[in-house]
Amino acid sequence: MAKKYAMVHDNNLCIGCQACNVACRSENKIPESVYRLQVWVKQEEYPNGSLGYEYHRQSCVHCENTPCVSVCPTKASHVNEDGIVLVDNDLCVGCLYCVAACPYQARYVHPVTKAPDKCTFCHESRLSRGEEPACVTVCPTEALVFGDLNDPKSKINKVLSERVTYRQKERLGTQPKMYIVPNHKGGINS
Question: Is the Cα dihedral 58, 59, 62, 67 positive or negative?
Answer: positive
Neighbour-count burial of 42, counting CB atoms closer than 10 A to its CB (0-12 exposed, 13-18 middle, 19+ buried): exposed
**Which residues, 51 to 90, sit near ligand SF4 by CB under 6 A?**
60-63, 66-68, 71-74, 76-77, 85, 87
Number of Cα atoms under 13 Å in the Cβ half of residue 60: 32
Q: Which CB atom, from 67 or from 83, has the smaller least distance to another protein?
A: 67
The closest of 129, 116, 95 to 34, measured between CA atoms, is: 116
The closest of 69, 112, 75, 113 to 91, measured between CA atoms, is: 75
Selected binder of ligand SF4 within 95, 149, 155, 167 (CB under 6 A): 95
CB under 5 to 8 A by kind: which of another protein, ligand SF4, none does 125 bind? none
Piece in contact with another protein (CB under 8 A), picked from 99-107, 127-135, 138-146, 181-189: 99-107
Binding interface with another protein (CB under 8 A): 16, 18, 21, 33-35, 38-41, 58, 67, 70-76, 91-97, 99-103, 105, 108-109, 114-115, 172
